[in-house]
């Protein structure tokens, strides 16, 4: 599986934007970029995904570099409830809609009040 690299941790202040980076230099043409987050004592939660174009949903925005070798998850206004581990995952869809996901260690986001 193609690998992703994320910072171990990041800090943000409440109500400020947060940009969480992810490098995936070995991404293939059939890899979608997925983001999940895991709040303390909870299972992972789907955040957003994209292939080539930037994507927006109610939770976040995903900015994908033109060469697709990196991406950035953007939380527009961080709240205390956004404190979590954020995982950037490449999902190969060439074999069908299979959510056999390979999680790394992710980025631990701390949000300061």
Query: Where on the chain is the footprint of another protein (CB under 8 A)?
Result: 32, 34, 36, 41-46, 49, 85, 87, 96-106
Q: What are the φ and ψ backbone dihedral angles of 40, each rounded to 5 degrees?
A: -55, 135
From the CB of 34, what's the least distance to another protein, in Å? 7
Shortest CB 79 distance to another protein, Å: 21
Contact assessment for residue 74 and residue 64, using Cβ atoms and an 8 Å cutoff? no
Question: Can you list the positions of beta strands (E) in the chain?
Answer: 9-13, 18-23, 31-38, 45-50, 55-56, 61-64, 70-75, 84-92, 107-112
Nearer Cβ to another protein (53/113): 53
- Which C-beta is closer to another protein: that of 13 or that of 52? 52
Shortest distance, position 64 Cβ to another protein, whole Å: 15
Query: What is the edge-to-edge ordering of all strands in the sheet holding 84-92?
Result: 9-13, 107-112, 84-92, 31-38, 45-50
Nearer to another protein, 14 or 51 (CB): 51
> Which CB atom, from 65 or from 101, has the smaller least distance to another protein?
101
- What minimum distance in Å lies between the beta carbon of 101 and another protein? 7
- Residue 80 DSSP SS3: helix
């Amino acid at each position: 599986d193609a690998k992703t690299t994320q910072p171990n941790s990041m800090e943000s202040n409440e109500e400020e934007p947060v940009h969480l980076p992810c490098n995936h230099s070995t991404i293939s043409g059939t890899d979608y970029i997925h983001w999940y987050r895991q709040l303390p004592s909870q299972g992972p939660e789907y955040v957003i995904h994209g292939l080539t174009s930037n994507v927006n949903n109610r939770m976040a925005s995903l900015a994908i570099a033109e060469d697709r070798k990196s991406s950035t998850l953007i939380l527009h206004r961080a709240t205390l409830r956004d404190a979590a581990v954020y995982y950037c995952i490449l999902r190969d869809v060439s074999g069908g809609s299979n959510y056999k996901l390979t999680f790394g260690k992710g980025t631990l986001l701390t949000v300061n009040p």
